Amino acid sequence: MIPEFLSSGRALRCGILMLAHAALAIAANTANAGERPSRSGGDIKPDVIYHNYCSVCHGDRGDGRSRARNSLVPPPRDFTTAQNLTREYMAAIIANGKPGTAMTAWKTQLNEKEIEALADYIVKVFVEGKGASIGTPAQGAAAISGTTAHGGRERDAAPATAVAAPGPAIKADMSLPMPNNLRGDPAKGGRFYAGNCATCHGLKGDGKGPRAYFIRPKPRNLIDATSRAAYNRPALFAAISMGKLGTEMPAWSKVLSEQEIADVAEYVYQQFIQGKAIAGK
């Protein structure tokens, strides 16, 4: 005879509850097992992220001199000799990778804040600081945060001279050409910009397009001093190609060819970054 509690359906409910508790336990264990060592009490540690994810190719000092160097074509980027790496460009590469290289997209492993912190770390320590003061990850973090490797404040230790305090993006090299030997056509790029980009960035490039009032964060102002200092042709090409995490800026590489992206980048560069009038736009 089937017991009454089985016929009443209580066994089924008990079984479902047991399975649910088991699933929650498994999920919790999985989350704990996969927790990145880059965090401590919710704090982001860009030096540890770099050490764990990037140094295998780019080296502990950011100079590309790693054990993997000889097996990668093209070789890893030497950040200490780079002249045109801004934080935004670096964040885009970290998030989306770089086609034609071994650089993979890390946006599935790192969140937006971690990517931004890592980009800032690379620019401050390796690009601007030339990697001179980096020994261990903790020492690298001290150059960014103002703490010593032992947790003391900067006043208790020798001042870090190799890395400047966080500030505006470095001045980009405006003589650099488009990637992959591309030459953009600003007239063609202007037509695309007017039909697709101006709704957010505005026809004047001031970030005041008709959709801008309800977009958060606001579209980039392409004519302000920060943009004009940071966005050379390679940076614009990367930003248009890859978009930007956490914003309305899409990755146009999904729908445009490299030549079309170069056309738009050239238009934006001449029209807004340099402030030239494009004939026929």
3-class SS letters over the chain: CCCHHHHCCHHHHHHHHHHHHHHHHHHHHHHHHCCCCCEECCEECHHHHHHHHHHHHHCCCCCCCCCCHHHCCCCCCCHHHCCCCCHHHHHHHHHHCCCCCCCCCCCCCCCHHHHHHHHHHHHHHHHHCCCCCCCCHHHHHHHHHCECCCCCEHHHCCCCCCCCCCCCCCCCCCCCCCHHHCCCCHHHHHHHHHHHHHHHHCCCCCCCCCCHHHCCCCCCCCCCHHHHHHCCHHHHHHHHHHCCCCCCCCCHHHCCCHHHHHHHHHHHHHHHHCCCCCCCC
pLDDT of residue 278: 60
Quote the CA–CA distance of 19 and 22 in Å, as a whole number.
5
CB atoms inside a 10 Å sphere around CB 192: 18
Angle, alpha carbons 247-252-253 (nearest 5°): 130
pTM of the predicted protein model: 0.47
Quote the CA–CA distance of 187 and 20 in Å, as a whole number.
60
| Residue boundaries of the structural domains of the chain | 39-156, 179-273
CB atoms inside a 10 Å sphere around CB 147: 16
Q: How buried is residue 67: exposed, middle or buried, by Cβ count under 10 Å (0-12/13-18/19+)?
A: exposed
Quote the CA–CA distance of 232 and 47 in Å, as a whole number.
28
Angle, alpha carbons 176-180-183 (nearest 5°): 65
pLDDT of residue 3: 47
pLDDT of residue 140: 43
Q: Do domains 39-156 and 179-273 have the same CATH topology?
A: yes
Quote the CA–CA distance of 150 and 153 in Å, as a whole number.
9
pLDDT of residue 213: 86
Token pair in block for residue 235: 């940076």
CATH assignment of 179-273, given 2.30.40.10, 1.10.760.10, 1.10.645.10, 3.40.228.10?
Answer: 1.10.760.10
pLDDT (tens place) for every residue of the chain, 281 residues total: 444 444 445 544 444 444 444 444 444 343 333 444 444 446 899 998 988 889 888 988 888 888 777 777 788 888 888 876 788 888 888 988 887 778 888 888 889 899 999 999 999 999 888 654 444 444 444 444 443 333 333 333 333 323 333 334 457 788 889 988 999 999 999 999 999 999 999 999 999 999 988 888 899 999 999 899 888 998 899 889 888 777 888 889 889 999 999 999 999 999 999 997 665 44
| Cβ atoms 182, 262 nearer than 8 A | yes
pLDDT of residue 156: 32
CATH 3.40.50.2000 fits domain 39-156? no
pLDDT of residue 85: 74
